[in-house]
Structure 1
Amino acid sequence: MLELLVDNLPVVLLAAGLVLMVLEALSPGAHLIVIGVALVGAGLVGVLLPIALSPVILAAITLVIGIAAAYVYHEFDFYGGKGTAQTKDSDSLSGTTGYVTKTVTSRGGEVKLNQGGFAPYYSARAYEGTIEEGEEIIVLDPGGGNVLTVESLDAIESDGIDRELAREAAANEEDVASENTTTSAENETAEPETETEKS
């Protein structure tokens, strides 16, 4: 039995690698793809080369292909999110931005978060009013990750503080305008006096 396995070692490596790659497809992120690619690569080399390769040479080929596969897997980041923090729990979703994919009302809707991850789509409900499809949103309450409470970024940008600042700016403009009017009125009344003084 052992002799049969050694004689057909390339086929065994190929089969084992394919099984690991299928398992990776069923549970992404398990990092079985690197080992699977290494085994499939070594198995293919053993099957395609007409010379009989020793188990030591096949092991070396597996190692070299495995290192190359690990480099490519790490460098190209096939699952996304490279350089960004992954969501650890629902609380980390608070403050995350995204956009509406299905109109969000106080009863439901759907959003896609910019944070990424394997499934960035979440059920959501609006904090106030209705948020139309395509509008940018921010997560106010993660709700345990089941249903997010979101608010339109446009509504947040024009919150109470912004409205108060706008009122103050308008009041200042009115004060400046009334000062200019008063100053010009004083200048108009001052001009006849100077004419009287001349005569």
Structure 2
Amino acid sequence: MVEVFGQSLSFLLVVVGTALCIMEALAPGAHLIVIGVALLVAGLVGLFVPAAATPFVLAGLVLAVGLAALWTYRNYDFYQGTGRGQTRDADDLRGERGYVTETVTERSGRVKLQSGGFDPTYGARTISGTIEEGTDVVVVDPGGGNILTVEAVDGQDDIDRELDRERTDADGA
């Protein structure tokens, strides 16, 4: 049995794999889970099947389990399906919809976006007036920092507004 720092290689793989899985739980989306699962599984196989505890077998297991974990992680989209793992830049937020969680004025306020990434709450400002808590809003200027410029929406989407505009034009013509 191979020993490193006075401990078996299999035991060290279990410890490091567990530590990486815990780190992933604390910082989701960092992709530490893939290598963490690979090391953990290889270490457990090495502990429970001593004949497989050679460095070459464990390295092969880490590679095989790592590839399987990566494939599973990518195909089942654990974080992306919920929107939690998304890293968004400011331009992606333009046009996003959400609602006011703290009354928005020209100087202060907070909104929560429907698909705003890991933490969908942002500081918000309005160009003029006040937008009350609970009102639906749309981002008109993402700014570039943590403060968005928003406008209240009337519950209609762009298609509904265009249809209303066409009806008004047809009635007036």
Match of 1:180 in 2: none
Cα displacement (A) at 1:3: 4.7
Q: How does 1:53-64 map to 2 (within 5 A)?
A: 53-64=53-64
**Cα displacement (A) at 1:144:** 2.5
The aligned counterpart of 1:189 is none
Output the CA distance in 2 between the equivalents of 1:42 and 1:3: 14
Aligned equivalent of 1:91: 91
Matches within 5 A, 1:1-199: 3-5=2-4, 8-49=8-49, 51=51, 53-80=53-80, 86-88=87-89, 90-154=90-154, 166=168, 169=171
> What SS does the corresponding residue of 1:140 show, helix, strand or coil?
strand
Q: CA RMSD in A?
A: 3.5
CA positional deviation for 1:48:
2.8
- What per-residue deviation string (whole Å, max 9, x for no partner) do you get for residues 84-139 of structure 1? x8523x23322222222223233322112233311111011223333233322111
Q: Give the length in aligned residue pairs.
A: 166
The offset of 1:81, in angstroms, is 5.7
Q: Is the 8 A contact 1:81 1:116 kept in 2?
A: no
Work out the CA distance in 1 between the residues paired with 2:155 and 2:34: 47
Secondary structure (helix, strand or coil) at the match of 1:71 reads helix
* Distance change >3 Å, CA 81–CA 124, structure 1 → 2: farther
What residue identity is the alignment partner of 1:43?
Answer: G
Structure 2 residue runs without a partner (length 5+) = none
Query: Secondary structure of 2:100's partner?
Result: strand
Report the TM-score when normalising by structure 1. Answer: 0.66
The structure 1 segments of at least 4 consecutive aligned residues displaced by more than 4 Å after TM superposition are: 155-159, 165-168
Identity %: 49
- Work out which of the two has the higher radius of gyration on C-alpha atoms and give 1 or 2: 1
Higher helix share: 1
